[in-house]
Amino acid sequence: MATKSSRNLEEPESSTTVEEKVVKVNGEVAIRRYNKGRFLGKGGFARCYEFTNLETRKITAAKIVSKESLKKSRAKQKLMSEIKIHRALHHANIVGFEHFFEDNENVYILLELCTNQTTNELLRRRKRLTELEVQCYLHQVISALKYLHSHRVIHRDLKLGNFFLSDKMEIKIGDFGLATKLEFDGERKRTICGTPNYIAPEVLDGKQGHSYEVDIWSLGVIAYTLLVGKPPFETSDVKTTYRRIRMNAYSFPDHVPLSEPSKSLITRILVNDPAKRPSLDEILAHEFFHQGNSIPKLMPPSTLACPPSASFLRQFTSPSVSGGLSQSSNRLTETVPSVALKNTSARSARQELVNTERASKIREETKQMPPLTNAPEQGIGAAGPEVWVKKWVDYSSKYGLGYLLSNGSTGVFFNDATKIILSPAGNAFEYMERKGPEKQDVITTHTLTEYPKELQKKVTLLQHFRSYLEGDVKQETGIEGENMPVSRVYVKKWMRTRHAIMFRLSNKIVQVNFQDHTEIILSSETRVVTYVNKRGERTTYPLATAQESSNHEMTKRLKYTKDILTHMLNAPNRQGEEPPLDN
């Protein structure tokens, strides 16, 4: 983004048609057309988009690799090997390989679409997972690995970013760019082209060659990372990390309560001698997976944003169970407070970014808001919110959420949960970072000409977001005052569902923007609800009477807002289903 024009936040902006030439057996050439839809993400050498087959309407993820980038024979070889290995694999926990083709510019690989991003984004939102979730996810990964290894395939780059989540929340292992298929049992591989993230010590050592055990090692690193929240050997520079791996220098932090079985499993796996690592079957037989609870087949989508609730956990833990799981039961039964609508501030603590909708990484919403005085018929005179989100762009695939507030401030909610808010005049900004044991927002104020060096990248991103978001509405806001103070209003939390995007603002406002362009803006402080209908007309009601309003379009959305908020927090027994919008 930084290098491109500011309006180029979304990769190619407009949807286009891609044509595939299909040569039939009789030699005739047919054309298959795909609509190239939303941008899904970008890797080292591929850009990924949603593709819709215009004939069958089937939607897939298309990895597009430019032929330009394949000029080096190594890159070409790597892609060919990825295709060759991946296309032969068929397993419920491996990203389905649909098809591949090429045109003059690109190679296109069509893959099963995974709509819930990867465990990387999941962990970023959740910080760490409960043991029940780790049991559930590792179970699926091991099932796929057993399949891979039985077909003599070593993945060699198992990492959180390569575990995709389907719409049903199944884990799907993807990215076979570093995978290899052994010619015979017992073959040892010597080289890996590329740098695996969770590299095993024998790969660093390079003397004995490596085999399936490198995937087992990565499993240990993954289990540790999911439970603790950061990788075991992580340091700020690669050389030190490699040194730590060689020395097996890692420890379990005191501040994270981990059960004995989980520590024992990780310790068993992370041993430097590959021959001493457990097999996949031994891992499955380990007490970590046998703590008296049953393991859910899938986790509900609400866990994309917050831990499984007590009621969900109860379904998998029998009351008589003692030992293993109960050791960690503080974490597992961590309850999510049940909250009434009015208590939005307590609730927001659990509302982390969620995207149960689709792996849509980029969305932009513009709303032309008529002034407050436009409140029509049922507007009963209550003052609406002073500040709300006017326009937003979801670039959480890379950086975070950018937004423009109605008071002219631009803000960014970065993926690392830090926040920045720029004054309407664009001269000063506040930076918010959670610090200390209480994880309080610490706010520092700076000007665009004078700020700490470490904020350079974030400030650059802020400016890009700003020029993108302001675009054509800059004049319209009419706020150009030189000494406008930094707005103290900013987005504290945000999340997405299938039907909507929700923002929790620091002024205790919860705003829900629905896909049909209607909006609910709830102010817990002034106890009013503002409803913006499809035509952009605003009506403000006191909260107490809003539910009884004859405006059914609004009451339906208000109910949805309450249901989804409550659901996200404490009703995962309605597994996987967010409330329907039409109830």
Question: What is the distance between the alpha carbons of residues 327 and 330, in angstroms, rounded to a whole number?
Answer: 7
Secondary structure (3-state) at 37? strand
DSSP letter for each residue of 248-302 = T-----TTS---HHHHHHHHHH--SSGGGSPPHHHHHHSGGG-SSBPPPSS--GG
**What contacts 242, CB < 8 A, 6 or more positions away?**
199, 204
Nearer of residues 111 and 179 to ligand ATP, judged by Cβ: 111
Name the residue nearer to ligand ATP (CB basis): 79 or 336. Answer: 79
Report residue 410 as tokens: 């631009």
| Nearest Cα to Cα of residue 567 among 550, 544, 553, 583 | 583
Position with the least CB separation from ligand ATP = 43
* Closer residue to ligand ATP in complex, CB, 178/219: 178
Closest to 217 in 3D by CA, of 134, 276, 165, 295: 276
Strand partners, 504: 493, 510
Q: Rounded to an integer, what distance in angstroms lies between the CA atom of residue 138 and that of residue 222?
A: 9
78 versus 493: smaller Cβ distance to ligand ATP: 78
Using the minimum distance from each CB to ligand ATP, give the nearer residue, 61 or 265. 61
Known binding-site residues equal: 63
520: closest CA among 528, 146, 35, 512?
512
Give me Rg for the CA atoms of the chain.
Answer: 25
Burial category of 47 from C-beta neighbours within 10 Å (exposed 0-12, middle 13-18, buried 19 and up): middle
Residue 267 Cα distances to 143, 248, 271, 510, angstroms: 21, 10, 7, 44
State the minimum distance, in angstroms, from the CB of residue 513 to ligand ATP.
23
- Pairwise CA distance, residues 308 & 429, whole Å: 36
User: 3-class DSSP state for residue 392?
Assistant: strand
Least distance CB 248 / ligand ATP (angstroms): 26
Quick count: other Cβ atoms within 10 Å of Cβ 415?
17
- Based on CB atoms, which residue is closest to ligand ATP, 176 or 431? 176
Q: Do residues 35 and 15 lie in contact, with contact meaning Cβ atoms separated by under 8 Å?
A: yes
Active-site residue, from 157, 175, 215, 394 = 157
Q: Is 157 a catalytic residue?
A: yes
Token digits for 118? 């990867």
Binding-site residue numbers for ATP are 63
The Cα-based distances of 496 to 32, 262, 360, 493 in angstroms read 33, 32, 10, 11
Q: How far is the CB of 107 from ligand ATP (least distance, A)?
A: 12
CA angle, residues 77, 81, 82, in degrees to nearest 5: 115
Smallest distance, Å, CB 159 to ligand ATP? 8
Beta bridge partners of 355: 496
Nearest residue (CB) to ligand ATP, 50 versus 430: 50
Minimum Å gap between C-beta 39 and ligand ATP is 9
Q: Looking at this protein, which amino acid is placed at residue 520?
A: I
For residue 161, the minimal CB distance to ligand ATP (Å) is: 6
Least distance (Å) between residue 493 CB and ligand ATP = 22
Residue whose entry in the numeric block shows the structure tokens 């037989």: 285
Which tokens go with 228? Answer: 């603790």
Which C-beta is closer to ligand ATP: that of 42 or that of 268?
42
By the criterion CB under 6 A, which residues form the site for ligand ATP?
40-46, 48, 61, 63, 95, 111-114, 164, 174-175, 177, 359, 397
Burial class from Cβ neighbours inside 10 Å (0-12, 13-18, 19+) for residue 111 reads buried
Cα–Cα distance, 245 to 231 (Å, whole number): 11
How far is the C-alpha of 148 from the C-alpha of 208, rounded, in Å? 22
Q: How far is the CB of 576 from ligand ATP (least distance, A)?
A: 19
The residue (of 177 and 426) whose beta carbon lies closer to ligand ATP is 177
Q: Take residue 297 and report the two structure tokens written for it.
A: 């087949």
Helix boundaries (H) for 394-519: 456-470, 474-477
Q: Cβ 471 to ligand ATP, closest distance in Å?
A: 26
As annotated, the active-site residues are: 157
